A and B are shown apart, each in its own frame.
Chain A
Amino acid sequence: MKYITEYRNKNLSRKIADKINNALKGYKGKISLMEVCGTHTHSIFRSGIMSLLSDKIEHLSGPGCPVCVTPNKYIDTAIAYSRLPEVIITTFGDMIKVPGSSSSLEKEKAGGGKVKIVYSPLESLEIARSNPEKKIIFLGVGFETTAPLVASTILTANEKKIKNFFVLSGHKLIPPAMMALLESGEIKIDGFICPGHVSTIIGETPYYPIVKKFGIPSVIVGFEPIDILEGIEMLVRQIAENEKPKVENQYKRVVRSEGNEKALSLIDKVFEVKDSVWRGLGLLPKSGLYIKKAYSEFDAQKKINVEIEKTKTHAKCICGKVLCGTKKPYECELYGKSCTPENPIGPCMVSSEGTCAAYYKFKK
């Protein structure tokens, strides 16, 4: 596969790992590097690259799994909608197993609720066309990578005058979450492995405040083993060699410094930025995307009333702490016992991007 195989070359991986380990020879202490992307979490575990690196490097997973950071109230709202006879829920597959306060979309589906898994939000428009008597609600969950797709889908629905399509927007922005983790002071982070595809959309600029305010090196990194190792090498160079902290871009073959302006303009056209609740992090200022008034006819929350049950969270699930990097999955008493990917209690075990699922799959 072109532009893939080359980035999985084992000899090259060793070369980069050697360079990192050499740079750390005289370094005293540990370096904690956090990735904020579920795809990075899984790529790091699957490739086993950490085993090539000095134990002075500690790898932390942050709030980079969209399904995981979505709070129970959102899931309960989606579940309540699925119980309305006139509604069909459309969603990416990893949402359906996520437990809400007392049910999940999967359970509702088994009980007759109408929930359809889609690969692309655009499929919701086809479902809307072939079910004119129904209201189709797409679950808009995801970061800056997904938000422009949903914005584009809303604009298409508007243009084609599709009146029975709605979005329940739970979209969130990554840089405010990174800032919140640093502001909390609860965890030592020496460098950020910034998410490749979020950065494809937003470019380099949104990370500047992280470097300016906290002096934390931030490197945009791709997803193959060579990419991640090269990204770590860039971070280690900044940290161990006392370079001035900066934003660097390892994934230049995909990420332009200005980002994808067309995608950004679609986000800006359809969504407005407001405060948003994250699992584990709580209410973060200016961290969520909500549908603007001009497109409110597509906003499920504005157009379709529903009663939501009182939100409950599992007393023992530590998913929130795992998302902040303050606890490891195996520190949870449910992990691998009553909570497994087949029977998940918390969202971090559900999603293919979740940290608990990655630990379970690759480490046990």
Chain B
Amino acid sequence: MCLAIPMKLVKIEGNKGIVELSGVKKEVSLDLLGEVEIGDYLIIHAGFAIEKLNEEEAKKTLAIWEEIGTLQKQ
């Protein structure tokens, strides 16, 4: 039931948003979120955005592992 793929917010109309992934667009409710901006990546569940993806944290996780890999090679 959980769709774990973040979709990009491309339009906001009141409490509704249009999200996009690989050209496919979908209308979602923004009722469960605070402030959002065009360009934010949202986690969608059954027609509702349930959270905004934190891009800083997303990059951090990957960077830590990349670094470990580099250290191991040295």
A-side residues, CB < 8 A to B, are 1-4, 6-7, 11-12, 15-16, 19, 37-39, 43, 66, 92, 94, 119-123, 142, 145-146, 148-149, 152, 196-197, 200-201, 222-224, 226, 230, 250, 252-256, 260, 262-263, 266, 353
A344 and B29 CA atoms in complex are apart in Å by: 34
A197-B4, A230-B61, A262-B32 known; A145 vs B69 contact (CB < 8 Å): no
Question: Which residue of A has the minimal Cβ distance to B58?
Answer: A253
Query: Are the C-beta atoms of A152 and B48 separated by less than 8 Å?
Result: yes
A-B residue pairs in contact (CB < 8 Å), sample of 5: A3-B58, A15-B65, A149-B45, A200-B43, A252-B54
4 interchain residue pairs of minimum CB distance: A120-B47, A223-B4, A253-B58, A253-B57
Query: Are the C-beta atoms of B4 and A266 separated by less than 8 Å?
Result: no
The number of inter-chain residue pairs (CB within 8 angstroms) is 121
Question: Which residue of B has the minimal Cβ distance to A93?
Answer: B1
Residues of chain A contacted by B48 (CB below 8 angstroms): 120, 148-149, 152
Query: Are the C-beta atoms of A262 and B33 separated by less than 8 Å?
Result: yes
Query: Are the C-beta atoms of B2 and A197 separated by less than 8 Å?
Result: yes
Query: Are the C-beta atoms of A263 and B32 separated by less than 8 Å?
Result: yes
A164 and B48 CA atoms in complex are apart in Å by: 22
A15-B68, A120-B46 known; A149 vs B32 contact (CB < 8 Å): yes
A19 and B71 CA atoms in complex are apart in Å by: 13
A37-B2, A145-B2 known; A12 vs B69 contact (CB < 8 Å): yes
Residues of chain A contacted by B53 (CB below 8 angstroms): 3, 253-254
Majority SS at the chain B contact face:
mixed
Query: Are the C-beta atoms of B65 and A1 separated by less than 8 Å?
Result: no
In angstroms, how far is the closest chain B Cβ from the Cβ of A12? 5
Residues of chain A contacted by B4 (CB below 8 angstroms): 39, 43, 196-197, 222-224
A38-B1, A39-B4, A146-B45 known; A152 vs B61 contact (CB < 8 Å): no
Query: Are the C-beta atoms of A15 and B62 separated by less than 8 Å?
Result: no
Residues of chain B contacted by A16 (CB below 8 angstroms): 65
A39 and B5 CA atoms in complex are apart in Å by: 12
Residues of chain B contacted by A2 (CB below 8 angstroms): 6, 8, 41
In angstroms, how far is the closest chain A Cβ from the Cβ of B64? 9
Residues of chain B contacted by A152 (CB below 8 angstroms): 29, 31-32, 48
A255 and B52 CA atoms in complex are apart in Å by: 9
Query: Are the C-beta atoms of A119 and B47 separated by less than 8 Å?
Result: yes
A353 and B1 CA atoms in complex are apart in Å by: 7
A39-B4, A253-B58, A254-B51 known; A121 vs B46 contact (CB < 8 Å): yes
Residues of chain B contacted by A254 (CB below 8 angstroms): 43, 51, 53-54
Is B74 interfacial (CB-CB < 8 Å)?
Answer: no
In angstroms, how far is the closest chain A Cβ from the Cβ of B41? 6
Produce 1/0 per residue, B23-63, CB < 8 A to A. Answer: 00000010111100000010101111011011101101110
In angstroms, how far is the closest chain B Cβ from the Cβ of A59? 19
Question: Which residue of A has the minimal Cβ distance to B26?
Answer: A119
Residues of chain B contacted by A262 (CB below 8 angstroms): 31-34
Residues of chain B contacted by A92 (CB below 8 angstroms): 1, 46
In angstroms, how far is the closest chain B Cβ from the Cβ of A237? 13
Query: Are the C-beta atoms of B1 and A148 separated by less than 8 Å?
Result: no
Residues of chain B contacted by A255 (CB below 8 angstroms): 51
Select the residue from A19, A260, A353 with max chain B CB neighbours within 10 A.
Answer: A260
A15 and B72 CA atoms in complex are apart in Å by: 9
A321 and B50 CA atoms in complex are apart in Å by: 32
A2 and B62 CA atoms in complex are apart in Å by: 13
A1-B22, A39-B1, A262-B32 known; A122 vs B61 contact (CB < 8 Å): no
A218 and B35 CA atoms in complex are apart in Å by: 30
A1 and B53 CA atoms in complex are apart in Å by: 14
A92 and B34 CA atoms in complex are apart in Å by: 26
A89 and B37 CA atoms in complex are apart in Å by: 36
Query: Are the C-beta atoms of A142 and B1 separated by less than 8 Å?
Result: yes
A252 and B63 CA atoms in complex are apart in Å by: 14
Select the residue from B8, B22, B45, B72 with max chain A CB neighbours within 10 A.
Answer: B45
